[in-house]
Structure 1
Amino acid sequence: MSGDLRVYWDEKLLSYDFGPTHPLNPVRVDLTMRLARALGVLDHTEVAGFTSAGDGLISLVHDRGYMEAVKTAGHALKPDFRYGLGTADNPIFEGMHEASALVVGASVAAARAVWDGEVPHAANIAGGLHHAMPDAAAGFCVYNDPAVAIAWLLEHGAHRVAYVDVDVHHGDGVQKAFYDDPRVLTISLHESPRTLFPGTGFPHETGAEGTAVNVALPPGTGDRAWMRAFQGVVPQLLEAFRPQVLVTQQGCDTHVQDPLAHLSLSIDGQRAIYAELHRLAHETAGGRWVLTGGGGYELVRVVPRAWTHLLAEASGRPLAPQTACPEDWRAYALERTGEIAPKAMTDGFQVEVQTWGEGFDPANPIDQAILATRKAVFPEHGLLPV
């Protein structure tokens, strides 16, 4: 499988920073890029610069009044709770608009490069801020960079874009942006909204012509069950929809060690997810793949390894799970965070992919979740729900 990945990166992306005690610490992105470099992943990948998103671009999704509030709050350092600015989740920081516009600029640059045929795959690992609403900040997200990237694609001629979100939290902001637009298929696999923020993402949220798809998984879901849910929903819908571009959000807070959620995936399971998304980009979207980061709050042991695997997979040169984490990188991680980094790029698990229909158990909560989603949306796409 070919790679040809372009990564949009600038250290200025680390300025998206809510402060040292906030869970979304930019050190996780710094450690990811350093690990990817140390392991040679970026030796076979073009790393490119980009321009910050202007107001006209951001306004493809966000209200002008909200944008002005973000600018004002970030300069005056005063909260504006009307717009979700200054809450515990979204505290004010200096230059908030400028930092957020950089994230949007990188994701739109990735979408533009893929749409224009410059590269088949393009990434903004600092992106994936999927909770931001058109008129409010939410869930650590000020501007919704994946939604703006999708809106840019629609503005430039795309008429079928698929978005697949594997973050542990529902991709509510992206769903809302395109809920009534059948040109965009949004698929989110996440922990049940009954147990986790943002409290949305039930199967009955189906959007226009069944193009909002939600798989709500019970707490404790591990690698094998998560992959079963993915296989029971995502490939069939992408094959039916035939997107011109696949946009994905790879939040790695599904990991068992993540402090903010309750799923139980391993690094090895996440690595398997990335391989499946890569395969589906080629099989259903002509290889056109725009990928972003997302959530992930175990800053040293999880995020850098997960997203380095993601970049390696997208480059066409996946890393062996047993690959050692370089000692100089581990020393840097210890210096920066005081935490001991893992020695290898694996958690030591073998991940089996079980397809839907194998051993279906109507009493199993995973199978119940899969079936609820299939019944809600499959008929809209000409697919049998069972």
Structure 2
Amino acid sequence: MSTNAVYVFHENELQYRFNDTHPFDPERLLMTRDLLEKSGALDPSQFRKPRKATNADIRRVHTAEYVAEVQALSALRPSEKAIADAERFGLNTEDTPFFPDMHDITCQIAGGSIEAADLVMSGQALHSLHLGGGLHHALPNKGAGFCIYNDASVAIAYIREHYDAKVLYVDTDVHHGDGVQWSFYHDPHVCTLSFHETGKYLFPGTGAANERGEGDGYGMCVNIPVEPYTEDDSWLEGFNEALDRVVRFFRPDIIISQHGCDAHALDPLAHVHCSMRIYREMPATLHRLAHQYCGGRWVALGGGGYDIWRVVPRAWGMLWLEMTDHPLASRLAAEPNLPLPESWLTEWTKKSPLELPHTWLDPVHDWTPIPRRSAITETNRRTREIALMYVPE
């Protein structure tokens, strides 16, 4: 197993929890780590415990006014003024309600993404994984979509300030990576590439193919929206074509990828119908291109994923297997029925309200085909042609 990959984690990230019924559940971090440990794929020597981001780190992206409001709402009993102002800052919605200590807890998450970026850019590690990160919807002056501070944007801004490197941000969450896009919409040194379900039907309603950046950053923003019920073949066709073209055109110094795994058919918050196959193949493509164009420099973050029992641990587990060149990654390509560890299944079956899958990949041969497959595929191709109009082949 490669020693060139590090697993960034701090136990305080498990406190990023809005309430007991909220779909964003940090238990998925524990399930993924346990799956990897029980698979013999994660060693204590690979862990890195990050520092907490400072207010100065956060203010590279977020306004001072917004940070002050987050701090005020982090009190056990916020003031009447802070509560009255919460709506203006997007922090009293059903999706993103304020909660005690959210400033410190989210600063810890942002610190994890900074640490992951710093380890790679300084040459201490070739690859790094921070699954607690990927909170990509937070805007400079507003929380949104389960996200308080945008750790991905904070890490990119850190790289730009400390290393003056060109950053390619690749977002594979089924929801458009809007917060990162808008943070760097005018920056020619940061290219954002997002693959997501069309905003016609899904939060946040952005990410159209004609959102291309502005000013000096025009052409540095690429969006590949797909139709509801898109399946593996069409998703991967678009991912591989767009990523290859963008990397060859932009020639980044580092790739930062966000790995929301809510494009899976079982995810309750979207309408895309992909299987675990895309979560095996997308990291492999990113890994290959990072070595081909970036000297191997690759940071991967977590993100969405709301079937925490049947989807998230397997998807994020395969990401780490690929990142570390673990033998299981090669076996998965040849053995679609490769079983999950019995010890992991026994442990988590006690807690899961759903029957857990017994294999890393899905038995897609048992799935009912989508009736409009060919029409969906063709629509995705036409949309992608518009999205890549100004990206050289």
Is this a same-fold pair by TM over 0.5?
yes
Partner of 1:148: 154
1:1-386 correspondence runs (5 A): 4-43=4-43, 46-78=46-78, 79=83, 80-207=86-213, 208-317=217-326, 318-319=328-329, 320-321=331-332, 322-349=337-364, 364-375=378-389, 377-378=390-391, 383-384=392-393
SS in 1 for 2:120: helix
Residue 363 of structure 1, CA deviation = 8.7
Partner of 2:371: none
Paired with 1:44 and 1:239, the residues of 2 have a C-alpha distance of 36
Cα RMSD after superposing both structures: 1.9
Partner of 1:357: none
Paired with 2:314 and 2:111, the residues of 1 have a C-alpha distance of 25
Residue 44 of structure 1, CA deviation = 8.5
Q: Percent identity over the alignment? A: 38
Paired with 2:257 and 2:87, the residues of 1 have a C-alpha distance of 30
Q: Is the 8 A contact 1:3 1:314 kept in 2?
A: no
Q: Is the 8 A contact 1:36 1:42 kept in 2?
A: yes
Residue 295 of structure 1, CA deviation = 0.4
Give the TM-score normalised by structure 2. 0.90
Paired with 2:363 and 2:102, the residues of 1 have a C-alpha distance of 40
SS in 2 for 1:32: helix
* Change beyond 3 A, Cα 1:97–1:274: same
Residue 209 of structure 1, CA deviation = 2.9
Q: Is the 8 A contact 2:5 2:323 kept in 1?
A: yes
Partner of 1:356: none
Q: Deviations over 1:40-76 (max 9, x none)?
A: 1113861111111110111110111111111111214
SS in 1 for 2:74: helix
Q: Is the 8 A contact 1:169 1:190 kept in 2?
A: yes
SS in 1 for 2:344: helix
Paired with 1:345 and 1:289, the residues of 2 have a C-alpha distance of 24
Q: Deviations over 1:224-256 (max 9, x none)?
A: 000111122111110121111110001000000
Q: Deviations over 1:1-41 (max 9, x none)?
A: 96721011122210111122111111111111111111111
Q: Deviations over 1:204-229 (max 9, x none)?
A: 11011300100110111111000111
Q: Is the 8 A contact 1:268 1:349 kept in 2?
A: no
Q: Is the 8 A contact 2:76 2:101 kept in 1?
A: no
Give the TM-score normalised by structure 1. 0.92
Paired with 1:87 and 1:254, the residues of 2 have a C-alpha distance of 24
Q: Mind listing any 5+ residue stretches in structure 1 that lack a counterpart? A: 351-359
Q: Mind listing any 5+ residue stretches in structure 2 that lack a counterpart? A: 366-373
